[in-house]
């Protein structure tokens, strides 16, 4: 890799951490503003080389982020959804059950599924109840306590 390319890619990583950049054209313009000339095909190749991902910013806009950022964002979205909709978290020895206001279970279950939580295999949602199925080897009471703690942190 050339020194010029390395500098440009470092600038890209710095820019996407400092600004909300949604398109290759915006990224090329931001690079130009910082003294790095790059055409769209170069920017596209850099995005691929850096394995940038698109994540949803707080304002709802999709923006570029470093690899791995999406995982943390999805988990944060799950926690926010838990705090917004979960009313009760309970369990038995094998399953965790969440209750929500009527009509909100599907939205919460989708947020949980999209988070790809490492200890959750799947969810099954009704109108106001969600069954959370722990992965093999994960005790349901342990997962239950983790999910309850997320609710308590939101109430504090």
Q: Tell me the C-alpha distance between 30 and 109, whole Å.
A: 38
Query: Please, is 3 exposed, middle or buried when counting C-beta atoms within 10 Å of its C-beta (0-12, 13-18, 19+)?
Result: exposed
pTM for this model (two decimals): 0.57
How would you write the pLDDT of the chain (156 residues) with one tens digit per residue? Answer: 788 899 999 999 999 989 999 999 999 999 999 999 899 899 999 999 998 888 777 677 888 888 766 566 778 888 889 999 999 999 999 999 999 999 999 999 999 998 888 899 999 999 999 999 999 999 999 999 999 988 776 554
Q: Tell me the C-alpha distance between 116 and 75, whole Å.
A: 8
Confidence at residue 10, expressed as pLDDT on a 0 to 100 scale: 93
Query: What's the CATH code, domain 3-67?
Result: 1.10.10.10
Half-sphere exposure of 108 (CA within 13 A, CB side): 30
Q: Which CATH number fits domain 70-155: 3.90.1200.10, 3.30.1360.40, 3.40.50.10800, 3.40.50.1780?
A: 3.30.1360.40
């Amino acid at each position: 890799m050339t020194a010029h390319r390395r500098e440009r890619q470092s600038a890209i990583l710095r820019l996407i951490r400092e600004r909300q950049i949604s398109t290759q054209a915006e990224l090329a313009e931001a690079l130009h503003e910082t003294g790095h000339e790059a055409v769209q095909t170069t920017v596209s190749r850099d995005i691929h080389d850096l394995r940038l991902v698109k994540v949803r910013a707080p304002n709802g806009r999709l923006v570029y982020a470093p690899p791995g950022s999406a995982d943390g964002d999805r988990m944060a979205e799950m926690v926010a959804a838990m705090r917004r909709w979960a009313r009760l978290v309970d369990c038995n020895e094998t399953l965790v059950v969440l209750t929500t206001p009527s009509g909100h279970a599907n939205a919460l279950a989708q947020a949980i599924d999209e988070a790809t939580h490492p200890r959750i295999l799947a969810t099954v949602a009704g109108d106001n109840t969600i069954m959370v199925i722990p992965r093999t080897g994960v005790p349901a009471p342990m997962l239950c306590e983790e999910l309850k703690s997320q609710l308590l942190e939101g109430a504090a």
